Structure 1
Amino acid sequence: MLLSHVDHLAFEVLRATDPAASAFFRTLTEAGDSKWTLVPTGVIGSCLVLAGLWLVKARRAAAVARWTGSALLFVFASIALSGIIVNIIKVIIGRARPKLLDQIGFQGFDPMILDANFHSFPSGHTNTAVAFALAVSFLIPGWRAPLLALAGAIGFSRVAVNAHFMTDVIGGAALAYPTTYWLRARFAAQGWVFARSGAVGFQPQWPGRLLARLAERSLRRPLDALGAPDGRQLRRA
């Protein structure tokens, strides 16, 4: 009952959204499509790993190529695993999308159906955005705050464009956390990308820590120019 109230309130607020804002959200929501993250991370990651194994002769350069490729494949796997689980849940639950609201209301469900109109819960775009943000932030901790903020904006856009209810977005975001954290632990257990740090923590292996510092510095400069917190503050966020 409470969740239905949340969906109803969000729907009523966003129904009065300015047309200009609606156009912005339609553009932003496209960033949550998994093709924009799965394809580049999968293809580039695989190429870098193969290059590090067979093509690059310099030892350090080969190590950098292998780690970077493996890190991209970790991001790929995080999005793919979480997305598969989301798609299975969509079919099992069979929640109607908001465009069917006038016909069946907020409680429209038709479980075990392949009709995309009944695949509202959970939001796949939001799940992709959050899984991507978490996976990259495990590799570059200083990017966590802006990446999660962007993921949140993409999730909000799914409601704004009338593709999902608010609880769909919350569910999609929530599902990204256990899958991505679990996958990081599995990679570390296999000696891939991450190493254990302390009792329960993880950190990127070499050369990941060096590359993370370089990436954080690249973000810190424009943030400093805007008066935003520096990389050290972002890591603590």
Structure 2
Amino acid sequence: MDRPLSSSLWLLLAAAVLVAALLPFDGTISQWAQGLPGGIVSFNERITDFGTFAWMIYGSGSIVIIAYILHRVVHSDGFSSKAKTAWRLALYFFVTIGSASALVHLLKLIIGRARPELFLEYGAHSLTPLANEWLFESFPSGHSAAVGSFFGAFAMLAPRLRIVFALGALTIGITRIVVGAHYPSDVAAGLLVGLWTALMTAFFFARQEWLFRLDEKGWPRPKNSFHPASSA
């Protein structure tokens, strides 16, 4: 295994430790967040659904993706380059978001964690594997995985704005705690699933010389950061 992929596995392990560290505080933080002033809770309720996979694919999220693809296409030279840029960008977003969706829903089914709505009855750490019921699909957060993959993809393509994209993903993730849909560890895990799929898809694309190239340390970087005139 090459060094970057090995390092990425260590990052995944560190992320798992972070999620585990949140577990003892899940119930306390969840109950506190839901008890915030009504105006704060209402605001979070209004923006929380920006984190659905449906919003990413069929709603305003798709408009953002299309606008970004068009921007990149306009700045590409030649018809062939424009065509390659368009379909590779579309494929990158589709694979990243689609992989995150498949993975997070599989984990939800296997783990079967009770949602905060059932806190008084089941506590914060009750598991009912393979329940296949919404109330037992708390871990990981699907909304957080969606925004993690969405903003993670943009962060890989435009690394100078990674802090902005990270704050966007974190903001939607926090809303899931405030509205009582998820525990903090659910949100952390969901965000990490989304970010991980964006990174792993970028590794695959870099191996094909699509959109990304591997830098001198073996990590994927957007090709236009090597050659500003190239966007394919």
> Under a length normalisation based on structure 2, what TM-score does the superposition of the two structures give?
0.77
Instruction: Identify which range, 9-18 or 154-163, moves more after superposition.
Output: 9-18
Distance (whole Å) between structure 2 residues aligned to residue 16 and residue 68 of structure 1: 46
Q: Classify the secondary structure of the residue corresponding to 1:67.
A: helix
What is the CA distance between 1:168 and its match in structure 2?
0.5
What is the CA distance between 1:83 and its match in structure 2?
1.6
Instruction: Identify which range, 157-166 or 3-12, moves more after superposition.
Output: 3-12
Q: Does 1:83 align with 2:129?
A: no
Q: Relative CO higher for 1 or 2, CA cutoff 8 Å, sep ≥ 6?
A: 2
Q: Classify the secondary structure of the residue corresponding to 1:203.
A: strand
Q: Does 1:16 align with 2:35?
A: yes
> Under a length normalisation based on structure 1, what TM-score does the superposition of the two structures give?
0.76
How many residue pairs get matched? 205
Tell me if structure 2 keeps the 8 A contact 1:38–1:80: no
The one-letter code matched in structure 2 to 1:151 is A
Distance (whole Å) between structure 2 residues aligned to residue 23 and residue 97 of structure 1: 20
Q: Classify the secondary structure of the residue corresponding to 1:75.
A: helix
Distance (whole Å) between structure 1 residues aligned to residue 229 and residue 149 of structure 2: 21
Distance (whole Å) between structure 2 residues aligned to residue 134 and residue 21 of structure 1: 26
Matches within 5 A, 1:9-48: 9-39=28-58, 40=62, 44=66
Distance (whole Å) between structure 2 residues aligned to residue 209 and residue 96 of structure 1: 49
Matches within 5 A, 1:1-237: 3-39=22-58, 40=62, 44=66, 60-206=78-224, 210=228
Q: Classify the secondary structure of the residue corresponding to 2:102.
A: helix
Tell me if structure 1 keeps the 8 A contact 2:27–2:119: no
Larger Rg: 1
Q: 1:38 to 1:62 in 2, by over 3 A?
A: same
Q: 1:209 to 1:146 in 2, by over 3 A?
A: farther
The one-letter code matched in structure 1 to 2:43 is F
The one-letter code matched in structure 2 to 1:133 is F
What is the CA distance between 1:2 and its match in structure 2?
5.8
- Identity, in percent, stands at 26
**Structure 2 stretches lacking a partner, 5+ long:** 1-19
